[in-house]
Structure 1
Amino acid sequence: MTMGPTMPPPMDMPYMPAMHMAFFWGHRVEVLFSNWPGDRDGVGMYVLCLLVVLVLAALVEVLSAWSRGLSRRSHDSDALGTLLMTAIHVVKVGLSYLVMLATMSFNGGVFLAVLAGHAAGFFLSRRGVLGHAARDDVHTNGALHHPSEPKP
């Protein structure tokens, strides 16, 4: 059974690279931007891409810890503090979406870079390397309790 000739794609349609629907390994990938890192300069641009994604994920964690620290010290009537926390939140959400979009490239190396970045950012913010150590204190009926302490 023969089928008729196939029609070539219209000339005005742009080339769309194949989208992966499962994790794959390799340095030929597009992350966040068209042709980045792509095939340029081989593995070097891919490694740079992984480092950028790692730093973005770490910044998400650091900004989260910074936001929590500011919210503990801020008073509800402090308009400047509220504006600063809002700006930090907007930047954090924007970076979070970029990290999510990078992960949607379905590249295994990018996924591991995201995990490593979140782990590094969490570690740095919890250890106090970037300022004061973040503590997850719990407010209960006006009293301040550490989660490991029993509630009265």
Structure 2
Amino acid sequence: MNHNHTNMAMNMNMMHMTFWGSNAEILFSGWPGTRLGMYVVSLLVVFVLSVLVEWFSHCQYVRRKKNNIKAGLVQTLMHAIRTGLAYIVMLAVMSFSVGILLVAVAGHALGFLLFGSRVFKDSDMTSSVKTSDLPPMSC
């Protein structure tokens, strides 16, 4: 009986959650650990993944073609990749690290600025122009 109590205490200690600081576990057990350099790498990874989610949300790969099956399969693959990346970002944010939360939001913001906002688009665009192959993300 004492052995079970020891195992439970060890498992509870392994689940270390912190709201601020570089001592967090993000996505993988033991990663990034206590090394500041690896924490910075994890911040960069989450930032890039967030930008990619926005890119997938606003890119156009499917051109007008007569093959609706092929176009539908490409859209489905893009949707699956976007959803998978978004869930990975969500899991990283669930590490309860403010740094991870901030870079995830910053990555989404930069991605939207680059790919979804009007900043880098022609001002003559009308609202009827299709801007993405995928429907908007819904939370």
Bucket of the pairwise TM-score, normalised by the shorter protein: 0.7 to 0.9
Q: 2:46 aligns with which of 33, 36, 53?
A: 53
> Which one scores higher on RCO, CA 8 angstroms, separation ≥ 6?
2
| Structure 1 residue 38, shift from structure 2 partner | 1.2
Offset from partner CA, 1:13-70 (integer Å, 9 cap, x none): 69432353xx61110100011001012xx2100000000000001100000101xx34
Residue 15 of structure 2 corresponds to: 18
Partner residue in 2 for 1:114: 104
* Residues 63 and 88 in structure 1, CA contact (< 8 A), matched pair in contact too: yes
State the match for 1:3 in structure 2: none
- What is the match of residue 27 of structure 1? 22
The CA deviation at 1:124 is: 1.6
| Structure 1 vs Structure 2 CA RMSD | 3.2
Structure 2: runs of 5 or more not aligned: 130-139
Structure 1 unaligned spans of 5+: 1-5, 139-143, 145-152
Could you tell me how far apart the structure 2 residues matched to 1:88 and 1:74 are? 17
How many residues get paired? 125
Higher fraction of helix: 2
Q: Deviations over 1:68-123 (max 9, x none)?
A: x346x446852211111110000000001000000100100000010011011111
Counterparts in 2 of 1:1-150, with a 5 A limit?
Answer: 7=2, 9=4, 15-16=10-11, 17-20=14-17, 24-39=19-34, 42-66=35-59, 69-70=60-61, 73-74=63-64, 78-126=68-116, 133=121, 137-138=127-128
2:44 partner amino acid: L
TM-score, scaled to structure 1 = 0.68
**1:106 match: secondary structure:** coil
Query: CA, structure 1 residues 110+136, in 2 after alignment: closer, same or farther (shift >3 Å)?
Result: farther
CA contact (8 A) 2:51 2:111 kept: yes
